[in-house]
């Protein structure tokens, strides 16, 4: 039984149990305290001081780091507190590029939001001058860094080192000269950034933003010579609605299809279809490796940030990575090579493939030498939502439509790709079938589910024809590194390792609307996907009739020569020595 204790917030008695901070207690009591640097998934930092409250007898305290204690009296919004918050906003704005109208974060910027809420109308301090501005770093294929908008909350620094264990971002200088920068002040493209975009996801302002491909896509849509094919990744469907005030986790895929048509895409495919295809290839590869006892454990390869991490840091272990392309990587060549056989006027030369992804690293993946010319542009969920708004599409009231056959139908196995553990679960369902000829009795592999912090590393063991197959699922590269260490030290007892770089998987990708302030958002999105899996008639990838047809008519069988040509890729040592 948990201890029930109470404290007082603004003279109202509030109960608390295991909350770690006063901020959490207040939130539970329905009082939102403003924060910039507080991110429940990251370590406490206590830097922005926006969350200050007055504690009777102890003066001003930061509520994001103060543990609750029975009986204390807290004032969250008295004049003293309000004045400090206002001063903090004014001080931050004085040292900020306040060209809000041209900022891509405008509308979802927390600094802008609080400035409005606190009625900041004048900045009585020395304002940053144009000549003090630092140049914008747009060197990365995925992320744009504009340090003139950085408020030094340190969320990106923590995300990069705590989630990914990479730490390409760090503080340099001190005092008012302090800044966040990649190692040795290098452009982002020249350091070991894996483009996961978690830094963007946790950034409260426009300092870190997604590199936009919106204009490039408009150019294609307006080019009469070009035929556009769009594909939508699994987790986009359960997050996009949030940009239109729909609850997180609500599956809006049929509205998305409709919006795509309104935007002018010629054909609408679903990445879930190619997720099914990925499983066909990957599960077969897994079974083959299991039989031969080669290159085990197999590492999944759908996460481009993880693939880049391996190429940068563990080039000696690339043989473990599945050679199967990611779902995005598979659908694009299919769209260019096979789709023209189904649609008149489409040919390899005039087709351009645009994918809508929850992920900033997918932009990098599309530009990989090994995959060049296949996916033309990648839009993140965030960019896609912007396009819908720009085109005046009333997303909430749009009609529901279907994707284009035969590249739009998918199984439940494909849809759960979006949550950490989903790929492994789908692969297990199909691998079991390949080996035994039967389907798993219970398709829900519960130990592999869960997207909270405690579920960043999970395992399941399944008996397949008398052989126990153990699967490890990790999200975040810091967790992946621990698993790799086990493999290197010969201590790993698992045969498959699923890795997603973003905590919780793609539902929390760097291209999604930010879910960093509320842990429930991730949970809801994952539940949205598992709900669809439950409700779909076909839950196994290998039972998708369009997949079966694709093999019988074009690809023969998983792992065939033709399949290898279109659906598999190679990796190479990309480790670099960074010169300081």
Active site residues: 282, 285, 302, 322, 362, 365, 370, 506
Q: Judged by CB, which is closer to another protein: 25, or 152?
A: 152
DSSP-based three-state secondary structure for 144: strand
Q: Judged by CB, which is closer to another protein: 23, or 351?
A: 23
Q: Does 82 bind another protein (CB under 8 A)?
A: no
Q: Does 66 bind another protein (CB under 8 A)?
A: yes
Only one of the segments 151-159, 317-325, 502-510, 557-565 lies at the binding site for another protein (rule: CB under 8 A); that segment is 151-159
Q: How many residues bind another protein (CB under 8 A)?
A: 37
DSSP assignment letter at 470: E
Q: Does 125 bind another protein (CB under 8 A)?
A: yes
Which residue in the set 8, 19, 27, 91 belongs to the binding site for another protein (CB under 8 A)?
A: 91
Cβ 450 to another protein shortest distance, Å: 27
Q: Does 87 bind another protein (CB under 8 A)?
A: yes
Q: Does 83 bind another protein (CB under 8 A)?
A: yes
Which residue in the set 29, 72, 84, 147 belongs to the binding site for another protein (CB under 8 A)?
A: 84
Half-sphere exposure (CA, 13 Å, Cβ side) for 249?
Answer: 13
Only one of the segments 27-35, 119-127, 218-226, 498-506 lies at the binding site for another protein (rule: CB under 8 A); that segment is 119-127
Q: Does 59 bind another protein (CB under 8 A)?
A: yes
Cβ 111 to another protein shortest distance, Å: 11
Q: Does 528 bind another protein (CB under 8 A)?
A: no
Q: Judged by CB, which is closer to another protein: 57, or 175?
A: 175
Which residue in the set 10, 29, 47, 244 belongs to the binding site for another protein (CB under 8 A)?
A: 47
Contact 298, 351 (CB under 8 A): no
Q: Which residue has tokens 């207040």?
A: 26
Q: CA distances (Å), 28 to each of 48, 179, 439, in order?
A: 22, 34, 44
Q: Does 401 bind another protein (CB under 8 A)?
A: no
Q: Judged by CB, which is closer to another protein: 151, or 416?
A: 151
347-368 in b/e burial notation, b at 16+ Cβ within 10 A? eeeebbbbbbbbbbbbbbbbeb
Contact 196, 129 (CB under 8 A): no
Q: Does 45 bind another protein (CB under 8 A)?
A: yes
Which residue in the set 25, 103, 111, 151 belongs to the binding site for another protein (CB under 8 A)?
A: 151
Question: Nearest-5° angle of CA 506, CA 547, CA 402?
Answer: 65
Q: Does 120 bind another protein (CB under 8 A)?
A: no
Question: Nearest-5° angle of CA 210, CA 216, CA 222?
Answer: 145
Cis peptide before 297 (omega within 30 of 0): yes
Task: Kindly give the residue spans of alpha helices, DSSP state H, lying in 235-301.
Answer: 253-263, 271-292
Only one of the segments 52-60, 227-235, 242-250, 456-464 lies at the binding site for another protein (rule: CB under 8 A); that segment is 52-60
Which residue in the set 8, 28, 29, 44 belongs to the binding site for another protein (CB under 8 A)?
A: 44
Q: Does 264 bind another protein (CB under 8 A)?
A: no
Cβ 137 to another protein shortest distance, Å: 20
Q: What distance in Å separates the CA atoms of residue 240 and residue 470, rounded to the nearest whole number? A: 34
Q: Does 77 bind another protein (CB under 8 A)?
A: no
Q: CA distances (Å), 256 to each of 122, 234, 238, in order?
A: 42, 12, 11
Total length of the chain: 580
Element (H or E) spanning 457, and its range? strand 457-464
Restricting to residues 184-243, name those near another protein by CB under 8 A: none
Q: CA distances (Å), 294 to each of 170, 319, 328, 427, 574, in order?
A: 40, 9, 27, 18, 24
DSSP assignment letter at 173: S
Q: Does 133 bind another protein (CB under 8 A)?
A: no
Q: CA distances (Å), 50 to each of 19, 115, 339, 356, 472, in order?
A: 20, 12, 54, 35, 40
Restricting to residues 159-188, name those near another protein by CB under 8 A: 170-171, 173-178
Cβ 484 to another protein shortest distance, Å: 23
> Rg of the chain's alpha carbons, rounded to an integer?
24
Q: Judged by CB, which is closer to another protein: 46, or 264?
A: 46
Residues that bind another protein (CB under 8 A): 44-50, 52, 59-60, 62, 65-67, 80, 83-84, 87-88, 91-92, 94-95, 124-126, 151-152, 154, 170-171, 173-178
């Amino acid at each position: 039984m948990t201890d029930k204790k109470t404290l007082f917030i603004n003279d109202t008695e509030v109960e608390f149990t295991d909350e770690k901070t006063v901020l959490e207690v207040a939130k539970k009591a329905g009082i939102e305290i403003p924060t910039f640097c507080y991110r429940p998934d990251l370590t406490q930092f206590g830097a922005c001081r926006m969350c200050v409250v007055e504690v009777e007898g102890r003066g001003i305290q930061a509520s994001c780091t103060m543990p609750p204690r029975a009986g204390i009296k807290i004032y969250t919004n008295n004049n003293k507190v309000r004045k400090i918050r206002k001063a903090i906003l004014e001080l931050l704005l004085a040292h900020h590029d306040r060209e809000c109208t041209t900022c891509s974060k405008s509308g979802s910027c927390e600094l802008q939001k609080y400035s409005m809420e606190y009625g900041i109308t004048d900045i009585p301090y020395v304002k940053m001058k144009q000549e003090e501005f630092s140049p914008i770093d747009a060197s990365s294929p995925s992320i744009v860094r504009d340090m003139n908008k950085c408020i030094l909350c340190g969320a990106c620094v923590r995300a990069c080192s705590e989630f990914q264990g990479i730490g390409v971002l760090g503080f340099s200088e001190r005092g008012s000269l302090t800044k966040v920068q990649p190692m040795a002040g290098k452009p982002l493209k020249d350091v070991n950034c894996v483009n996961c975009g978690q830094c963007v996801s946790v950034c409260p302002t426009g300092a870190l933003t997604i590199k936009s491909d919106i204009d490039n896509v408009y150019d294609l849509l307006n080019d009469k010579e070009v035929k556009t094919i769009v594909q939508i990744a699994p987790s986009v469907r359960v997050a996009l609605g949030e940009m239109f005030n729909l609850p997180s986790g609500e599956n809006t895929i049929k509205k998305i299809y409709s919006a795509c048509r309104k935007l002018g895409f010629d054909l609408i495919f679903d990445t879930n279809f190619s997720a099914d295809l990925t499983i066909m290839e990957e599960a077969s590869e897994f079974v083959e490796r299991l039989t031969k006892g080669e290159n085990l454990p197999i590492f999944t390869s759908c996460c481009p940030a993880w693939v880049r991490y391996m190429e940068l840091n563990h080039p000696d272990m690339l043989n473990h990575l599945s050679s199967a392309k990611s779902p995005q990587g598979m659908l694009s060549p299919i769209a260019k090579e096979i789709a023209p056989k189904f649609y008149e006027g489409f040919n390899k030369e005039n087709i351009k493939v645009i994918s809508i992804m929850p992920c900033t690293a997918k932009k990098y993946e599309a530009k990989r030498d090994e995959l060049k010319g296949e996916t033309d542009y990648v839009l993140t969920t965030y960019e896609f939502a912007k396009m819908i708004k720009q085109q005046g599409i009333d997303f909430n009231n749009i009609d529901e439509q279907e994707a284009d056959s035969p590249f739009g139908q998918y199984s439940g196995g494909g849809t759960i790709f979006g949550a950490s553990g989903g790929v492994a679960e789908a692969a297990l369902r199909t691998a079991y079938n390949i080996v035994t000829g039967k389907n798993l009795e219970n398709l829900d592999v519960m130990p592999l589910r869960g997207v909270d912090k405690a579920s960043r590393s999970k395992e399941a063991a399944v008996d397949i024809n008398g052989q126990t197959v153990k699967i490890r699922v990790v999200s975040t590269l810091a967790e992946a590194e621990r698993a790799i260490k086990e493999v290197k030290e010969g201590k790993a007892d698992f045969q498959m390792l699923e890795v997603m770089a973003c905590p919780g998987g793609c539902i929390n990708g760097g291209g999604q609307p930010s879910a960093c302030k509320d842990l429930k958002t991730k949970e809801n999105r994952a539940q949205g996907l598992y709900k669809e899996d439950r409700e779909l008639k076909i839950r196994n990838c290998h039972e998708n009739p369009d997949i079966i047809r694709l093999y019988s008519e074009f690809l023969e069988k998983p792992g065939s020569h033709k399949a290898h040509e279109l659906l598999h890729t190679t990796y190479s040592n990309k480790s670099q020595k960074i010169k300081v």
